[in-house]
Amino acid sequence: MRRNLSAGIAATLFAALAIPVQLAAQDNQDNHHKHHHYQLVDMGTFGGSLSGVNEPLNYVPAVGQHGQVVGFASNSVPQTATNNPTACFGVTTPNVTHGFEYKNGSVTDLGSLAGDAFCSDAGSINKHGEIPGISENGLFDPLLGWNQVRAVIWRRGQISDLGTFGGNHSWSFGMNDSGQVVGMALNAVPDPFSLYGFGLFFSPKSTQTRAFLWDQTSGMQDLGTLGGNDAWGWFINKRGQVTGISYTPSTKPR
């Protein structure tokens, strides 16, 4: 899913950059002595062959105000047949991936909810250093045949499970500087067209996908739908306004 999204985001980014390039050309002719100097830093891995930073899908970027960077990096533990691809990069590396935080020249392994053999991924970081993401929790989902994943937050080096609505999976997608998180969480109601189960794994053996809003005071709240069974929260801004997707009511032919 992330790879499909990256192609669309890259196209948008290049289109946006194409406009100021022409304006910058004139500025360079007027004052060609101004240059920006950058240093390329290899953040490394945890013993595997891959590391990366996620696309900026939400209000909070993957680079913090104090130069922190978050993302994912592979370790030396081989993946198994049940490692969940929504938390692991199984197509591009045979090893388990963990979320990382790069700060002051060093990289920290953020770990997972269940140890080195289970994947996690750090999505973004807000001005307080809070990091939302996703992690396998060590439990198996017999419906989909993958390890269960949970929406998580890392704070001060500790990982917290944001839970579900009674289902086997959740995933945080957006966070603001107030610590509010949005994403998706499954409930326990069977749904053959679940946005998570059917949409990502083409499986009719899953449960309803619901958009959530989470904060420390109220916990996880179901944001509802447009009349269908499923919804997914994608973005949240500093005012707490949330955007996403939702099924509308379906009708059966008479």
| H-helix or E-strand spanning residue 19 | helix 2-30
In a domain, 98, yes or no: yes
Regions of the chain where pLDDT drops below 70: 1-35, 56-60, 90-92, 251-254
Burial of 237 per CB tally in 10 Å (0-12, 13-18, 19+): middle
- The Cβ-side half-sphere exposure at 246, using a 13 Å CA radius, reads 17
The pTM is what? 0.81
Residues pairing with 4 in the sheet: none
CB count within 10 Å of CB 250 equals 9
| H-helix or E-strand spanning residue 22 | helix 2-30
Question: What local confidence, expressed as pLDDT, does residue 2 receive?
Answer: 44
Domain that holds residue 100: 41-242
Question: What local confidence, expressed as pLDDT, does residue 15 receive?
Answer: 33
In a domain, 180, yes or no: yes
Contact 121, 132 (CB under 8 A): no
Question: What local confidence, expressed as pLDDT, does residue 229 receive?
Answer: 96
In a domain, 205, yes or no: yes
In a domain, 234, yes or no: yes
Contact 180, 151 (CB under 8 A): no
Question: What local confidence, expressed as pLDDT, does residue 150 receive?
Answer: 98
In a domain, 55, yes or no: yes
- How is 74-136 classified by DSSP, letter by letter? EEEEEP-TTS-TTTS-TTT-SEEEEEEEEETTEEEEEE-SS-TTS-EEE----TT--EEEEEE
CB count within 10 Å of CB 59 equals 19
Polymer length in residues for the chain = 254
Question: What local confidence, expressed as pLDDT, does residue 24 receive?
Answer: 43
* Amino acid present at 131: I
In a domain, 8, yes or no: no
Q: Which of 201, 162, 203, 204 is nearest to 184 (CA)?
A: 162
In a domain, 167, yes or no: yes
In a domain, 27, yes or no: no
- Number of domains the chain contains: 1
